[in-house]
Amino acid sequence: MEAAGGRLAARFFFGVSLRIAMGIEYDGAPFCGWQTQPQRPTVQDTVEAAVARIASTKVRLVCAGRTDTGVHALGQVAHFDTLAQRPPSAWIRGVNAHLPGSIAVLWAHVVPDDFHARFSAVGRHYEYLLVNRAVRPALGAAICGWFPSRLDLAAMRAAAVHLVGTHDFSAFRSSQCQAKSPLRDLRCLVIERDGDMIRFCLEANAFLHHMVRNIIGCLVYVGKGRFDPDWIGDLLRSRDRSLAAPTFAPQGLYLTAVDYAPHWQLPILRGRRPFMAASA
C-alpha cells in the first residue's frame, strides 16, 4: 500500500490519467456472471457503477478472468483508467460503501499504464467445493456443488495425473469459447476430502471457457465408476468435447487468486480458501 500511495501522491496534482488495479471478492449467486449484459445483473456492471460514484464519471473495468453465472471469486483482479484524483482509501472504502454485501473491494493500487489485469497475469487459481453425500446440502447450497453417490478419490487422483502439463484441452472447452488456442498449462490439480466435502484445487497459466467445470464433471464420472482413470487421457487426446461429461454446476467454483510478476507490486493473496472449505 505504501508504494501505491507514493505513486498516487506523485501524480495527484498533475491531472494525469491513472490506472488503478483492484482485488475483488464476490458471491456469484446473485449475478449473471462478471461480464456486462443488458438488463441482467452482473458483477462488472455493479462494480463499475460503484466506482463511477467515486470517480464522478463512468469507468470501464477489465478483469483477469470473466466468471460465469453463479461462479464466485476470492481474488478477482480488475483495472480501470480514470482522471479522477482520489486518495487510495477512496477506491476501497468509498467504493465498498456503494456496493451490495455480496461484493467487496479488498485492495486498490495505482499501477503503471502498461499493466493489464488479463494480459499481465501469469497464473490463475481455481477451487471447486463439492459436497459428496446422499442428502443435498441445505446450508451453502448456492456456494458449493453436490453429488449424492460416494466418489472414489484414488481413481479421481489417478485420472487427474493425465491432465497436468501443457495440453490441447479442446475436449474440455465450451463451444462458445473464444480463445485463439486450446493449449493450456495445467500446473497443478489437487483433490482432497474432508468429511463430506471434496475440494478440487487447480492452477494454470490460463483456463478455457468452462474448462474447470468440464474437468470436474469428467473426474466425477471416473469417481463414480463410469470410466476408469485412463479414460481421461484418451478423452484429452481425442480433443472431442462431445465425448466428455456434461459441464458441472457453477455453484461450487471459485476464482481464488491471480498471479502477477513481482515488479507490479500487487498483494499476494494465495492460500485464501472458501469459507465452507475452511470450516468443513
Q: Which residues are catalytic?
A: 68
Place of cell 483456463: 207
If you write DSSP's letter for every residue of 166-225 in order, what string do you get? EEE-GGGS-TT---S--EEEEEEEEEEEETTEEEEEEEES---TTHHHHHHHHHHHHHTT
The set of long-range contacts for 275-280, using a CB threshold of 8 Å and a minimum separation of 24, is 275/143, 276/129, 276/140, 276/143, 276/144, 276/197, 277/127, 277/129, 277/194, 277/197, 277/199, 280/194, 280/195, 280/196, 280/197, 280/199
Q: Is the dihedral of CA 64, 66, 67, 72 positive or negative?
A: positive
Assign residue 119 a region (left: φ > 0; alpha: ψ between -120 and 50; beta: otherwise).
alpha
Q: Which residues contact 149 (CB under 8 A, 6 or more apart)?
A: 134, 224
CA distance 93 to 99: 10
